[in-house]
Chains A and B, each alone.
Chain A
């Protein structure tokens, strides 16, 4: 059984589709990252799974429980950190966490320890007695995600968990998300930050304008781009044109260009198997390799490859 399973999930606002016939699954104890620009349907999907929005058609199940027909049961096993931390303006961070923990059934014996630890870990301890409305944007965001680290739900939903958070804070939150998975949670994270996706994802689902473009592991997605790996070579070779022809015969070569000054740029698939073969052929051709630099595609390149535009173009 999948932890999450959707079938032809559709959400429509008037004539506009926020999600179109989405079929996807998340395995138990997996971190699935939804990657896509603003308006791609990430938040809509998360809110449907959290039973906050109702799907127009199709179905979604969390741990085998239907989100539309058994929504209260679903809410007992999930927690969601919203994209924007808003709401209890006149409450203090510790009080908000305490309320959340009580309502979500965190055992009384663990409640205060968990709250204190997470406030300290996310550097909110000094602000614990400030009103929520007096927190900075980054602090409010940390407070929002802290709810889930106190709750430790079976299924945790994070909507852009580190937007507005500084680099140090991002790293702290990512580590906490990974720890949450270690403790047994299944996790879905929506983001438009490539680094966040690469850091957290077991698998990535790329969404574009409500459509699922592709879903796979980060490695497989990168490998699936023909010529996605770029190998830059600096050689000491007598016949560079002949060598280009020879290297072009290696399986996985998409394009080799001469950058001048005995430098070549090769666009290849699977650089890890291409480079050893290239080394052999250079040796046979009596060409000396002075330097090799391998650059693998980013998830932004993956998005560009599958969606026809970059993530930043979609913002």
Chain B
């Protein structure tokens, strides 16, 4: 376990020196909520305080971006020659998978520190319980998406172009066809039927439920929690399986 933490810290350290990209992400979030969120909330009917709804949506999008970045990171490792090195270290494949996902989780926590705190503050709900509940939900959502992207990353061993095309297409669908920016009831039926398959639908509705949004505009929280846990468990399981059985270095590296 010590080696897992060493690997996480070693990689994270370089990402944090200097931490400009994290600060930029925080700034971008604040600008979007303060300016764009304030403007768009004037245009939206049917949801009181749409800016708050929008802020939670942004938090979910950051979670999704970071989690899918973990999968892309893994692909970059393979093509930059880092993966063969990692595979040669005295760490089991399962622990290596854990290290990669933990690093994704740590980056996610850093990235969300300001956006989540700000959103909770804006909602007047900045308590330890709400922080813990949100972090729990976002981590499961993040793990689920990271597992999905890591699973897909094996395509990149055959063709990185194909991987990029699939992930870009999938990301577009998963974000747009979800309740990240609009409640489920407001979606046209064609959109809603696709949104029912997006993990972000369940993640965002569950977080909003925890933060005290009107339950009538959200999906059943127990149902959302069950879907999220099932997704995370299955994609993480798939990731571990692929890592143990299929992963190997790129020969040319």
Contacts and interface: CB of A to CB of B under 8 A. Distances in A.
Q: Main SS of the interface on chain B?
A: helix
Interface of A: 13, 18, 43-44, 47, 50-54, 71-72, 75-76, 78-80, 82, 84, 86-91, 95, 99, 102-105
**Which of B3, B80, B87, B90 has the most C-beta atoms of chain A within 10 angstroms of its own C-beta?**
B90
B221 interface: no
B88 A80 contact: yes
Given A52-B87, A103-B89, A86 B251 contact: no
Contact of B249 (A52, A88, A95): A52
A60 to B, nearest CB: 14
A90 B88 CA distance: 20
Interface in B215-236: none
B82 A87 contact: yes
B147 to A, nearest CB: 22
Given A82-B85, A99-B6, 14 more contacts: A52-B249, A53-B248, A53-B251, A54-B248, A75-B91, A76-B90, A84-B81, A86-B80, A86-B81, A86-B253, A87-B85, A88-B10, A99-B10, A104-B89
Given A88-B14, A88-B82, A90-B14, A72 B90 contact: yes
Given A51-B88, A52-B87, A52-B88, A44 B251 contact: yes
Given A75-B88, A103-B89, A53 B249 contact: yes
B237 interface: no
Interface of B: 3, 6-7, 10, 13-14, 17, 77, 80-82, 84-85, 87-93, 248-249, 251, 253
B245 to A, nearest CB: 9
A43 B249 CA distance: 12
Given A75-B88, A104-B89, A84 B7 contact: no
Nearest to A104: B90
Contacts of B89: 75, 103-104
B90 A87 contact: no
Given A80-B88, A87-B81, A87-B85, A103 B249 contact: no
Nearest to A86: B81
